[in-house]
Amino acid sequence: MALKKILIYPEEILKKKAKEIAKIDDSLKRLASDMAETMYAAPGIGLAAPQVGESKRLIVLDAPLGENKTTGLIKLLNPEIVEKSGEIEYEEGCLSLPELYENVTRFLNVLVKAVDLATERKIEIEAEGTFAIALQHEIDHINGVLFIDHLSPLKRKLAIKKFKRIIEERKKEVL
């Protein structure tokens, strides 16, 4: 396994819809394992293939379920939200927009259909709360959508301005 470089906004691939995965092979399994290692090292709770420069509909997650429980590592191919309900506002961040956090409104409950890479079978996942938010966030990534795209135009403009300042400060720290 190897750590992958996480691409930072405004990388072009982050704004493009990723390609459907038709075949499971060793290189895809290796990519998923590398993504998981990268996610944990970042640290994060989810990562999508476009964030590491791969236009593939692949996400990895290890999201909180509450009371110190997590989903455990899951690797999903071609995930899609098929049902959604409720609403929740949550402060989100993103490994591709490091150190930027904004309140985003998401669905409280989602039903996701996907292929589980571990079993290579189609599955359905009912998720709520933080797990549902993480699924929506990562599925957005494979659809070319960033969490800042859910903000009003003014808030998005201010968030991007803030992010640019964060990047400039990081550059100064390196020098």
Is 103 within a domain?
Answer: yes
Long-range pairs, 86-92, Cβ under 8 A, ≥24: 88/129, 88/133, 90/130, 90/133, 92/133, 92/137, 92/147
Q: Identify the DSSP state of 68.
A: T
Is 57 within a domain?
Answer: yes
**What is the reported pTM?**
0.95
Is 112 within a domain?
Answer: yes
Range of the domain at 115: 12-174
- Per-residue model confidence as pLDDT tens for the chain (175 residues): 799 999 999 999 999 999 999 999 999 999 999 999 999 999 999 999 999 999 999 999 999 887 788 889 999 999 999 999 999 999 999 999 999 999 999 999 999 999 999 999 999 999 999 999 999 999 999 999 999 999 999 999 999 999 999 999 988 887 6
Structural domain total, the chain: 1
Is 90 within a domain?
Answer: yes
Query: Which CATH number do you get for residue 54?
Result: 3.90.45.10
Is 48 within a domain?
Answer: yes
Is 6 within a domain?
Answer: no
Give dist(CA 158, CA 151) in Å, integer.
10
- 106's tokens: 């998401």
Amino acid at 10: P
Give the sign of the dihedral formed by CA 105, CA 44, CA 100, CA 141: negative
State the catalytic residues: 138
Closest by Cα among 171, 147, 170, 169 to 159: 147
Give dist(CA 96, CA 100) in Å, integer.
9
Is 25 within a domain?
Answer: yes
Give dist(CA 123, CA 42) in Å, integer.
28
pLDDT for the residue 67: 75
Is 145 within a domain?
Answer: yes
pLDDT for the residue 175: 67
